Amino acid sequence: MIIGEPPPPSGAFGVDAIAMTMRFGDFLALDNVELKVRPGSFHALLGENGAGKSTLVKCIMGYYHATEGDILVGDREQAIANPKDAHALGLGMVYQHFTLVPAMTVAENLVLARDDVPPVVNWTNEMKELEAFLARMPFKVPLGAKVSDISAGERQKCEILKQLYLKRRFLILDEPTSVLTPAEADEVLGMLRDMVVKGELTILMITHKFREVMAFADDVTILRRGKVAGAGKVSELTPDAMARTMIGAEELTMQPARTGEAGRARLELEKVRALDDAGAVAVHDVSLTVRAGEIVGIAGVSGNGQRQLVEVLAGQREAESGEVRVAGASYHANREEMRRHRMSLLPEEPLKNACVGGMSVADNIAFREFDRAPFASGGWWLNRSAFRDDARKKIAQYKIRTRTPETPISALSGGNVQRAVLARELAGDVEVLIAANPCFGLDFAAVAQIHAEIMAARNRGAAVLLVSEDLDELLELSDRLVVMFHGEFVYEARTSEADLTVVGRHMAGH
């Protein structure tokens, strides 16, 4: 399918967005935004959640139609009505969420992505052609393997290879390294950078990792609340300057200093084994002790059993064998035990794992205590005004942005959902805190607040188990670091003594 008469320009080409404005009802998602991506450059698009980065690239890719503004592809104005038009122009996008079909093989996924899939696929020929294509590419992927069986790093490589296989020469990458180890991220971005330098590709990368911007990008555009807050050459900027441009004048919560020493063992895991949904062993007889006043961080690439481990501790999954002890007593994650031991949980995807989306913010905040005084009389008569009063107090204290306490919690942004969960879980005394990716996808202000709360809980003597895919977060918060790989703890060190390269190697399983 070809749009307009001229064929797409050969080699790398640039894309400009001129005076882009996008309205969703009353909400102004993009306000007169200019973006200039030079041909053959590596351009970073920075901004907090909700700053309009995704909206901007979706306008370029034809998913949204901008209210006003023009798109220039290779200096020629183009009307991009849908993603197919964008593809025909040589534009491709790698999404934050994988778009590979897990139940199919890598080869099937690649062939399927083509516009001209033949009615009957001749697999012998296709495999030969795919192998020839891979031989020219910088990364290798196992063609015959099912996507569900390969690692996150390999999946991300597949996503990028798919775009190159489709001969796209302008790639938009949406947080491409969020599931990769630092070494994998460097490998993938380094190879893409080489292709950019050779003039074969132009890249526009959405990211929030300054390290990657500094190491790989030529230019940067920074968005804040739908407007361009800054743009320029990366070589002339510092991470600090970029961060300040991103968050503007907003005050960040100060993180309290680390105080106090670790006390007695509070949370103990002994040879805990758990299965995943397919019935395979996901957590392999792991043992771990978390002491009072200590943050133990579990590092690892997503999908190495962390989720199942947290689900066991949260009571969402039964352990196959092994024992969990809290303060010396056997623990089975029922409500009474959680209350007695003052357990707090910040599970990942809080809207799904810690909230009932259709119920109000006030109800969600009251979940732990809703059938006890002062929220209930006699264990069954609920006192609605107590819910509201408590919620009002916590909404102010935790800076939860919601229209009213009665608003359904699913209407809140990710950061505010997590704040509401935080308000519920950290309100009283906390003796054990289990947090899983508590800051995933949140903006700076929310991240700073959550980090501060976690550190404060530690300083008050809580035993904290922090599971995270973000190594920087773990290095910043944890006292001890454990690396989880294929369901086992493969490395442990005091965070102050941990060597980042060694940690990365263990995360990748070497």
Which residues contribute to the site for another protein (CB under 8 A)? 82-84, 87, 95, 97, 99-104, 108, 111-113, 115, 117-121, 123, 275-279, 318
Q: Are 213 and 44 in contact, with CB atoms under 8 Å apart? A: yes
Q: Whose Cβ is closer to another protein: residue 123's or residue 198's?
A: 123
The SS3 assignment for 201 reads: coil
Instruction: Using alpha carbons, select from 434, 488, 428 the residue that is nearest to residue 466.
Output: 434
Parallel, antiparallel, or unpaired for β 219-224 and 432-436?
unpaired
With b for 16 or more beta-carbon neighbours within 10 A and e for fewer, the 414-437 pattern comes to bbbbbbbbbbbbbbeebbbbbbbb
Q: Whose Cβ is closer to another protein: residue 28's or residue 101's?
A: 101
Report the distance separating Cα 358 and Cα 31, nearest Å.
32
Q: Whose Cβ is closer to another protein: residue 22's or residue 113's?
A: 113
Q: Which helix (H) or strand (E) holds 335?
A: helix 335-340
Report the distance separating Cα 6 and Cα 90, nearest Å.
13
Q: At closest approach, how far in Å is the CB of 289 from another protein?
A: 27
> Which 8-state DSSP code applies to residue 470?
-
Q: At closest approach, how far in Å is the CB of 99 from another protein?
A: 4
Report the distance separating Cα 456 and Cα 344, nearest Å.
14
Strand-pairing partners, residue 91, are 170
Q: At closest approach, how far in Å is the CB of 335 from another protein?
A: 21
Q: At closest approach, how far in Å is the CB of 48 from another protein?
A: 24
Q: Which amino acid is located at 327 in the chain?
A: A
Contacts with 125 (C-beta within 8 Å, 6 or more apart), sequence order: none
Q: Whose Cβ is closer to another protein: residue 207's or residue 308's?
A: 308
Report the distance separating Cα 259 and Cα 153, nearest Å.
37
Q: Whose Cβ is closer to another protein: residue 97's or residue 136's?
A: 97
Q: Which amino acid is located at 159 in the chain?
A: E
Q: At closest approach, how far in Å is the CB of 279 from another protein?
A: 4
Q: At closest approach, how far in Å is the CB of 35 from another protein?
A: 22
Q: At closest approach, how far in Å is the CB of 81 from another protein?
A: 12
Q: At closest approach, how far in Å is the CB of 147 from another protein?
A: 10
Q: At closest approach, how far in Å is the CB of 16 from another protein?
A: 24
Q: Whose Cβ is closer to another protein: residue 57's or residue 296's?
A: 57
Report the distance separating Cα 146 and Cα 158, nearest Å.
12
Q: Which amino acid is located at 6 in the chain?
A: P
The SS3 assignment for 98 reads: coil
The SS3 assignment for 163 reads: helix
Q: Give Cα separations from 166 to 278, 489, 501 (angstroms).
A: 33, 40, 35
Q: Whose Cβ is closer to another protein: residue 119's or residue 379's?
A: 119
Q: At closest approach, how far in Å is the CB of 105 from another protein?
A: 10
Q: At closest approach, how far in Å is the CB of 82 from another protein?
A: 7
Strand-pairing partners, residue 140, are none
Report the distance separating Cα 21 and Cα 196, nearest Å.
29
Q: Whose Cβ is closer to another protein: residue 73's or residue 223's?
A: 73
CA 306 from centre of chain: 15
Q: Are 37 and 75 in contact, with CB atoms under 8 Å apart? A: no
**Encoding tokens for residue 220?**
């940067």
Q: Whose Cβ is closer to another protein: residue 261's or residue 277's?
A: 277
Sheet holding 294-299, edge to edge: 343-346, 432-436, 463-467, 294-299, 480-485, 488-494
Q: Are 461 and 433 in contact, with CB atoms under 8 Å apart? A: no
Q: Whose Cβ is closer to another protein: residue 100's or residue 173's?
A: 100
Q: Whose Cβ is closer to another protein: residue 176's or residue 415's?
A: 176
Q: Whose Cβ is closer to another protein: residue 121's or residue 502's?
A: 121
Q: Are 274 and 283 in contact, with CB atoms under 8 Å apart? A: yes
Q: At closest approach, how far in Å is the CB of 324 from another protein?
A: 18
